[in-house]
Amino acid sequence: MSVERRKNFLINAAYVAVLLAIFYVVVKYLLGLVAPFLVGFLVAAALQRSIRFLHRGLRFPRKLAALLCVILFYAIIGVLLFWLGVSIFAWLQDFVLRLPTVYTTEVEPMIKETFTSIETLMARFDLSLVQLLEDFHVSVSQSLGKVVSDISSIAISGITSTVSWVPRLFFGIVLSIISSVFIALDYGTIMEFLSNLVPARRRELVEEVKVLLGHIGVKYFKAYALLMLITFTELAIGLSILRVEGAIAIAALTAIVDILPVLGTGGVVIPWGLFNLIKGNLSLGLGLLALYVIITVVRQALEPKVVGQQIGLHPVVVLLCMYVGLKLFGVLGLFILPFTILVVKYLYDHGKFQLNS
């Protein structure tokens, strides 16, 4: 390799490294600061088709059409999120408050009965084992009681801290709504201003990327809607087979929670299954855990393939992007990094930049 080629390679590598560093800093540290305004801009942009329909098709004044669309959008989203949040919060609070009582009235007697049966059996063979078993029984009961008490305390503290975090979330939501209204009212002027900031020779490229991102967003929505439908179907069938009351409603709620990477189906099904195992309901407990395993295997197998087919990336690339994005940026990285890689791939395929030395 000649000196000139090595020099070009090092320059290209440094250039890419700087771009990656800037991208990391922006996503990791700056995105949160402008998140309400970014959400406002994205909402206003997404509602433009509806606004144009009201303005041109139904002859509404443009500003009134923009205001109505934004208010209706946030009203629908607000009602859905409020219902979901209140339902989950009420269930968690009730479960946490009842946990010590359930342990005292159901779990502890079951453990005591189990150890008593074992002690009776052991007494026929070796009396020394009975005392050892009784000591173990006392130790297990005390340890489990302390664990349950600690879980309740931690959970109540977590709920309290979550409630204290609500005002900041509410402030961010209000900023998003206000920014959506103002951006939607003057969307054309704002886009013209932003367009003028881009050099003339790059405007066509920016427009192509904007259209591409819009298409990717729609395809992402379709992909995850399909995955959510599959999860709902699996849950509905599985819970119905297990004869769980309200199987359809529980499946719908769990499928919605499954969208959240932090919780997922396991955040609902695993504690539910373990709780039934502790209570002695082995058929339901084992059935729920087996259902979770099936859903997880299907999800892990289908998610990269479904998302990859929708956005045009190989499933392995999608899986790698999602994993690296989650490690580097948290939950947002699951979506941001595949988006970014797809844009880079599009630019490279269309000769907008080259990495050749």
Task: Return the CA Rg of the chain.
Answer: 28
Tens-digit pLDDT string for the chain (357 aa): 566 777 776 776 776 677 777 777 777 777 777 888 888 888 888 888 899 888 888 888 988 988 899 999 999 988 887 876 676 667 666 666 666 676 667 666 766 666 666 656 666 655 555 556 566 656 656 665 565 555 555 555 655 555 556 677 778 888 888 889 888 888 888 888 877 777 777 777 777 777 777 777 777 778 878 888 898 899 989 989 988 877 887 888 788 777 665 567 877 888 888 877 777 778 888 888 899 999 888 887 887 777 766 666 666 777 787 778 777 777 677 777 777 777 777 777 766 655 554
Residue 339: which residues within 8 A CB-CB, separation 6 or more? 213, 216
Q: Average pLDDT, whole number, for the chain?
A: 75
CB 313 within 8 A of CB 342: yes
Question: Is the entire prediction scored with pTM above 0.85?
Answer: no
What letter does residue 313 receive in the DSSP assignment? -
Question: What is the percent of the chain where pLDDT is above 70?
Answer: 66
Q: Distance between CA atoms of 317 and 340, rounded to whole angstroms?
A: 12
Helix, strand, coil percentages in the chain from 3-state DSSP, rounded to 5: 90, 0, 10
pLDDT in tens, 216-254: 777 777 887 888 889 889 998 998 998 887 788 788 878
Q: Which class for 295: exposed (0-12), middle (13-18), buried (19 or more C-beta within 10 A)?
A: buried
Q: Give the dihedral of Cα atoms 267, 268, 270, 273; nearest 10 deg.
A: 170
CB 28 within 8 A of CB 332: no
Residue 340 half-sphere exposure, CB side, CA atoms within 13 Å? 16
pLDDT in tens, 273-311: 887 777 777 888 888 889 999 988 888 788 777 776 666
| Count of Cβ atoms closer than 10 Å to residue 193 Cβ | 10
CB 247 within 8 A of CB 272: no
Domain ranges in the chain are 202-357
60's torsion region: left (phi>0), alpha (psi -120 to 50) or beta? Answer: beta
| pLDDT score at 7 | 72
Give CA separation, 303 vs 222, 236, 259, in Å.
Answer: 12, 20, 12
